[in-house]
Amino acid sequence: MIYEHALDFAQQLDHADPLRQFRDRFYIPQHAGKPVVYLCGNSLGLQPKCAREVLNQELNTWQNLGVEGWFEQREGAEQSWLSYHKSCKESLAQIVGAEQVEVCPMNALTVNLHLLLASFYQPTDKKNRILTIAGDFPSDQYALETHIKHRGLSPSEVLIEIAPRANDGLIHTTDIQNAIAEHADSLALIWMSGLNYYTGQVYTMDAITQTARHYCVPIGFDLAHAIGNVPLRLHEWGVDFATWCSYKYLNGGPGAVSGIFVHQKHHDQHLPRLAGWWGYREDRRFEMTPGFLPDTGADGWQVSTPNILALAVHRAAIAITAEAGIVALRQKSEHLTGFLEYILTPFDKIQILTPDDPNQRGCQLSLLVRKNGKALFNYLTQQGIIGDWREPDCIRLAPTPLYNTFEEIWQVGEVLKRFYAS
């Protein structure tokens, strides 16, 4: 697309946008009596207007049925609480490119990572190392260190971290593939983000997974910043396992329900796991007998009774993403992010860290502003443009296709002009 730095050009794009009606399904925060330009969906997505209604529905069930809500289906409800998580599977499977039996909404991301590492990190004397990305999200680092130590090993000896290149601050696919090949004889696991939270770089998950499979090394992905943002085909790619959060691009609310993916090829392998009663076979769960028998597929990794109120919002929110469709969302995302890149180009004091190749980025652009970066961030906030600050000099802006507009991106350029003119 050939962009123009003009208001009427942005408005024409908004008028032609096939997803423009989805913005009306979200509450837009206000600043000085006007809607903010909310470019922080990579941290916390906006509230769907249906959230309060679906919460009230389950509160009414609790009010009117009490404990029987687990077993009785209230009039107008889709199902009882006992099988509530199953009603999320169709949307989740569509969003991550999976079979429904391979996904399950549950817990929080790092809790799920611990559960999955208990199953998929099985070190031996010769193969005990984990390959990951240097500077990935800290919580992932802490989880990896924990499991390494629990097995009597040293993180400094076991953890292999691939660092960004000095010339561009990015990690290239070949860097990861070469590291897998180099360390294949000692690797027990590969764990990495699908999209780097700091740089906004999308890793080539399919190619990396193919390399991992060639060397018979299990591979898992943290999809916190990728789910609902970029197209995923986890089943087709042969990814072994994955987990994510749903409060960013899936708009599930602060601390919303996470989810997992476990490829179908592992469902009959009787993998070790940290078991809990909600992961027990559903048809025998209330027999309360000793000896864990896992439920079918990803459901067998559940541990505790699900939070129905959180699942209610989760189900409603992911249904919006599924309705819009990841193909259409991705197409608009590429244009929105490309327009933002175009708008930023004249400002030579701003360096874009995120790759300029649309195939290597999602919604987010990470801006390095080494002089007066925090002052610029504060000015943007004062002008009603909400982004995200990362020390020491990074501003992250994420145009989200469900609710952001091209006119809002144009507004960012106008605010930047005023800041640098002052």
The CATH number of whichever domain residue 370 belongs to comes to 3.90.1150.10
Cα–Cα distance for residue pair 61/70, rounded to 1 Å: 10
Secondary structure of 216-259 in HEC code, one letter for each residue: CCCEEEECCCCCCCCCCCHHHHCCCEEEECCCCCCCCCCCCCCE
Does any domain span residue 130?
yes
For 191-215, b/e burial (b = at least 16 CB within 10 A) is: bbbbbbbbbbbbbbbeebbebbeee
Strands 365-368 and 394-397: antiparallel
253 and 385 both lie in a single domain: no
Q: Which of 281, 303, 323 is the last residue of a domain?
A: 323
Question: Strand pairing partners for 189?
Answer: 130
Does any domain span residue 51?
no
166 and 268 both lie in a single domain: yes
Does any domain span residue 2?
no
318 and 332 both lie in a single domain: no
pLDDT value, residue 75: 67
399: nearest Cα among 14, 31, 38, 24: 38
pLDDT value, residue 123: 98
218 and 274 both lie in a single domain: yes
pLDDT value, residue 394: 97
pLDDT value, residue 72: 85
Instruction: Per residue of the chain (422 residues), give pLDDT as tens.
Output: 899 999 999 999 999 999 999 999 999 999 999 999 999 999 999 999 999 999 999 999 999 999 999 998 776 666 789 999 999 999 999 999 999 999 999 999 999 999 999 999 999 999 999 999 999 999 999 999 999 999 999 999 999 999 999 998 899 999 999 999 999 999 999 999 999 999 999 999 999 999 999 999 999 999 999 999 999 999 999 999 999 999 999 999 999 999 999 999 999 988 999 999 999 999 999 899 999 999 999 999 999 999 999 999 999 999 999 999 999 999 999 999 999 999 999 999 999 999 999 999 999 999 999 999 999 999 999 999 999 999 999 999 999 999 999 999 999 999 999 999 98
Q: Which two tokens stand for residue 187?
A: 């690797």
Burial label for 185, CB within 10 Å (0-12, 13-18, 19+), is: exposed
Count the neighbouring beta carbons within 10 Å of the beta carbon of residue 29.
Answer: 12
311 and 332 both lie in a single domain: no
Q: What range defines the domain where residue 131 resides?
A: 57-323
258 and 311 both lie in a single domain: yes
DSSP per position, 1-30: ----S-HHHHHHHHHH-TTGGGGGGBPPPE
Q: Which two tokens stand for residue 334?
A: 């590429």
Q: Which of 282, 298, 323 is the last residue of a domain?
A: 323
Note whether 186 and 127 are within 8 A (CB).
yes
CATH number for position 85: 3.40.640.10
214 and 105 both lie in a single domain: yes
- Angle, CA 195 vertex, CA 190 and CA 199 arms, to 5°: 115
The number of domains in the chain is: 2
Cα–Cα distance for residue pair 17/259, rounded to 1 Å: 31
pLDDT value, residue 184: 98
